[in-house]
Chains A and B, each alone.
Chain A
Amino acid sequence: METLNYLNNGHGLASWLLTKDHKRIALLYLVSITAFFGLGGFFAMLIRLELLTPAGDLLTSETYNKVFTMHGVVMVFFFLIPSIPAVLGNFLVPIMIGAKDLAFPRINLLSWYIYVLGGLFTLTAALTGGVDTGWTFYTPYSTAAANSNVMTAALGIFITGFSSILTGLNFIVTIHRMRAPGMTWFRLPLFIWSHYATSLVMILGTPVIAITVLMVAAERALHLGIFDPALGGDPVLFQHLFWFYSHPAVYIMILPAMGVISELVQTFSRKNIFGYSFVAFSSLAIAVVGFLVWGHHLFVAGQSTYAGLLFSLLSFVVAIPSAIKVFNWSATMYKGSVSWQSPMLYAIGFIGLFTIGGLTGVMLATMGIDIHVHDTYFVVAHFHYIMVGGAIMGYMGGLHYWWPKMTGRLYNEPAAKTAAFLIFIGFNLTFFPQFVAGYLGMPRRYHAYPPEMQVWNVMSSAGASILAIGYALPLFYLLWSLYRGAAAGADPWGAKGLEWEIPSPPPTENFGTTPIITHGTHQYAPSKEVGIV
């Protein structure tokens, strides 16, 4: 006889597609995000296969250009930006603060439908000829010269942006207004702080990309000429507007992952975070300062040197809170009780790879270096270290950590460790050689390249094949756990937090009665029985 939980509370497609339960919506997102990750990964595979040889012999140039564009568009807008907030955030934010649901459950469902609609537009763009502008849509190529489905893709991104905006809006109102009695700001889990900071970026930044892609679409459709030099338009204005969102967007991608890491490091060291306030405020600092650095993408565009100096300076400043977090996570492990279970392997991998990614970002902030490496594979390597070595590791770690809570099942741990190991090795082999190729001068978005760069490209493609296996494995053992996994119980990890006080899987309304909070999470003090009452 099964107890009633959110998974079996209502059967049939309608009960899922019309659900208002944040936990079910999280699973809807999980399925669609995984599908898009697969699509983006498929495009990546095509890229790495083509780049095995210096000549452009696998795909035509047109096709290759469409493939790398779609890889970027799908991965950025349809995987990375939603991933952690839409899956883990949706599931956990209400539970972690002691609420029954988000503030606006129907808007939450609407968010998912908007995401799917935007995804369908973009898929249509891909299937009916593709887009070849790069995910960055620089003008005037995208407005005047490109002969591909720019409009459809731009509209797809425009639509999906609202999914992000509504999610951020929901989180902000929820965190402000629906915390349980006693859940003061400084008792909130760090996962909540980072999602709050992310939500600020989502609501302030996303509307700007929305209006920008709309302007691109309008220019193409109506021949307006806002970015057309012949009319006195400035193609670089597009770059400013685009990066005003797209730089903060990378913080949308990494802040939630940092929140996950904070939770993982505490649980798997059985120790509260070192420097809670510093980590919490660092999230806010990254969100705020992250809005002030967009010009570092325009150092070689010929803009004012003095503006460039300011952007460079601020780009260094924004690195500092991230550094603070890395030190605090490391210090948390000191004199902890460190478990080597798979979520922790992802967390440890994150800390190392994010450090490298972040410091290479600091190299790019250094103006004199950026002239040489801008638009080369050095930049590609940098952002993949952050996005894949960082954000995706955080997502995988969080997915594994909360999988028992979400499904009520335990997955096969040796398989999970194997996958984590393969991902780590495959990742580094894929992307470290790209730093070398980049400094050598191999530009981005190149279909064919000079023969002397081949060795690094072959290494990178070899690594990608290992990485692909590493990512495929969880699909199998996680799905397997749904049928054959052992029952998880409320707290399989020995963790502290409201989510571990309720059953796995949780009941639809999360809590039988509203909890009253008397202290922050992750208090592992041995001397007295401290639960969250």
Chain B
Amino acid sequence: MFKNLPFFPEAASAQAGQVDAVFFFLVAVTAFFSVLIAALVTIFAIKYKRKHDDEIGEPIHGSLVLELLWTVIPFAITMVMFGWGAKVFFDLTRPPIGATEIYIVGKQWMWKAQHMGGMREINELHIPVGQPIKLIMGSEDVIHSFYIPAFRVKSDVIPGRYNTMWFTATKAGTYHLFCAEYCGTKHSGMIGSIIAMEPAAFEAWMGGGKAEDSPVAAGAKLFQDLACITCHRTGAQGRGPILTNVFGHEVELQGGAKVIADEAYVRESILNPQAKVVNGFQPVMPTFQGLVTEEQLLQLIAYVRSLSQPGAAPAAEGTNSATPPQGKN
């Protein structure tokens, strides 16, 4: 619309259309009933305006038919809203298989992004158009929220767990990134840009960056530096389970329970190793709470993940490690 009077946000993702559609439906229903009630009330106020001091109204007590009508019809309309909204929600929260993963760490008051190819960004996120992107997000301190209005997506970023969200950009351009959960002094400064690029331009950008360790390589290095390798190898007298082909598969714990080894499981095992001890092993692993940052945790996870064979089932997108893998076909 007018350049300086934006009325409606740009729609730059494959998801935006769905969200706007259900929104317009609700706007229409809201407008209809608001106008209806406002009109009725105004008309009645005028038409039945008191003409003399002793006038009273007609003693009408009610009508069961009307009560049922204006209970059932709104209920039916709200159920349509519910179903439609739920469907959109399902689509927005279930990333497709094969989505490109990017790690996000939020901390007061900045966003850090880590591409799997090694590129790191602060307060910016470059992505290719037309490719589903899945963000795996953690916080170093308090609750934040990663919000891209142009894509109509948002997810809280919570310390102690991973939340994921996904989107597919449909238009090249630069879009607002906001933190949407109050997080202290510079909450309104915790903003940035999502830069969607045509695939060729994106490749160029990725290639032109500083050659940094990919998260997998960084994680492998940490695995050595933090001495994980001491126990998690063959010939270690069974001190720790070998981690090849663990990620993405079921693990049997002491006591018989089974969990899927996903991001949350690996993270917990590093920070609170006694919580889920693998069957057949002793609870001798020390905790690394306070010894690794959120980013380093993501790098270690990337490394452990790389030890699984190619073509293995992807991790569950939920943060509850008991959730079985989900994917959209």
Consider the complex of A and B and state whether they touch directly, i.e. have CB atoms less than 8 Å apart. Answer: yes
Residues of chain A at the chain B interface (Cβ within 8 Å): 56, 61-62, 65, 132-134, 138-141, 144-146, 229-230, 232-236, 269-272, 274-278, 299-302, 304-305, 308-309, 312-313, 316-317, 319-320, 323-324, 326-328, 330-331, 333-340, 344, 348, 351-352, 355-356, 359-360, 362-363, 365-372, 374-376, 436, 439-441, 443-450, 452-453, 455, 494, 523-526
Contact mask for chain B residues 29-64; partner A; CB cutoff 8 A; 1 contact, 0 none: 110011001101110110011110111111111110
Out of A236, A304, A330, A334, name the residue touching B158 (CB < 8 Å). A236
**Subset of 13 A-B contacts with CB under 8 Å:** A139-B143, A274-B60, A276-B61, A278-B67, A320-B78, A323-B70, A336-B48, A338-B44, A344-B45, A368-B84, A375-B145, A443-B179, A525-B59
Q: Tell me which residues across on chain B come within 8 A of A304, comparing CB atoms.
A: 320
Closest to A134 in B: B182
Partner of A235 from the list B9, B37, B81, B158 (CB cut-off 8 Å) is: B158
Residues of B with Cβ closer than 8 Å to A? 4-9, 18-19, 22-23, 26-27, 29-30, 33-34, 37-38, 40-42, 44-45, 48-51, 53-63, 66-67, 70-71, 74-75, 78-79, 81-82, 84-93, 108, 141-143, 145, 147, 149-150, 152-156, 158-161, 163, 176, 178-189, 271-272, 275, 289-290, 319-320
For the complex formed, measure the closest distance between the CB of A282 and the CB atoms of chain B, giving whole angstroms.
10
With known contacts A324-B71, A524-B59, A339–B50 Cβ distance under 8 A: yes
Q: Chain B contacts of A330 at CB under 8 A?
A: 37, 40-41, 44
Q: Is the CB of A61 within 8 A of B48?
A: no
| Measured CA separation A477–B293 after assembly (Å) | 62
Closest CB of chain B to A400's CB: distance in Å? 17
Q: Is the CB of A229 within 8 A of B82?
A: no
Q: Is the interface of B mostly helix, strand, loop or mixed?
A: mixed
Q: Which residue from A139, A316, A455 sits with its C-beta under 8 Å from B78? A: A316
CA distance A276 to B289 in the complex (A): 61
Query: Which of A56, A300, A372 is within 8 Å of B19, CB to CB?
Result: A372
B18 touches which one: A308, A317, A351, A368 (CB < 8 A)? A368
Contact A452 B143 (CB under 8 A): no
Docked-complex contact A301 and B156, CB < 8 angstroms: yes
Say whether A138 contacts B58, CB under 8 Å: no
Q: Known contacts A270-B55, A323-B74, A324-B67: does B89 contact A305 (CB below 8 Å)?
A: yes
Whether B160 and A335, one on each chain, are in contact in the complex, defined by CB atoms closer than 8 angstroms, is: no
Chain A residues with CB below 8 A from B93, complex form: 305
Q: How far is the CA of A336 from the CA of B48 in the complex (A)?
A: 6
Tell me, rounded to whole Å, the shortest Cβ–Cβ distance linking B319 to chain A. Answer: 6
Give the residue of B53, B147, B184 whose beta carbon is less than 8 angstroms from that of A146. Answer: B184
Q: Is the CB of B180 within 8 A of A368?
A: no
Q: Determine which of B4, B22, B180, B184 lies in contact with A366 in the assembled complex, contact meaning CB atoms within 8 Å.
A: B22
A445 with B187: in contact, given A301-B158, A316-B82 (CB under 8 Å)? yes
Q: Report the minimum CB–CB distance from B137 to chain A (whole Å).
A: 9
Complex Cα spacing A440 to B150, Å:
8
Q: Is the CB of A363 within 8 A of B184?
A: no
Task: Report the bound CA distance from A441 to B145 in whole Å.
Answer: 13
- Looking at the complex, which one of B30, B45, B51, B92 makes contact with A359 (CB distance below 8 Å)? B30
Determine the chain B residues whose CB is within 8 A of the CB of A494 once the complex forms.
53-54
The answer on a CB contact under 8 Å between A439 and B8 is yes
A sample of 15 more A-B contacts (CB under 8 A), given A65-B182, A132-B184, A302-B319, is A61-B186, A278-B62, A300-B154, A308-B89, A316-B82, A319-B74, A324-B71, A338-B44, A338-B57, A359-B29, A365-B81, A372-B19, A439-B23, A441-B9, A449-B188
Residues of B within 8 A of A374 (CB): 154, 180
Residue in A234, A359, A372 whose CB lies within 8 Å of B33: A359
* A352 vs B142: C-alpha distance when bound (angstroms): 40
Q: Which residue of chain B lies nearest to A369 when distances are taken between CB atoms in the complex?
A: B23
| B149 pairs with A65, CB closer than 8 A | no
Task: Count chain B CB atoms within 10 A of each CB in A133, A141, A445 and give the residue with the most.
Answer: A141
From the candidates A301, A328, A366, A455, name the one contacting B26 in the complex (CB within 8 A): A366
CB-based contact A312/B85 at 8 Å: yes
Question: Which residues of the other chain, B, contact A331 by a CB distance below 8 angstroms?
Answer: 60, 66
The contact of A368 among B8, B42, B87, by CB within 8 Å, is: B87
Instruction: Report the minimal beta-carbon distance from B182 to chain A, rounded to whole angstroms.
Output: 4
Cβ of B289: which chain A residues have Cβ within 8 Å of it? 230
A309 to chain B, nearest CB (A): 6
- Asked if B81 and A316 make an inter-chain contact with CB atoms under 8 angstroms apart, the answer reads yes
Min CB distance A63 to B, Å, is 10
Nearest CB in chain A to that of B22: its residue = A368
State the CA gap A132–B184 with chains docked (Å). Answer: 7
Expressed in whole angstroms, the minimum distance between the Cβ of B229 and any Cβ of chain A is 26
CB distance from A518 to the nearest CB of B (A): 16
- Report chain A residues within 8 Å CB of B30: 356, 359-360, 362-363
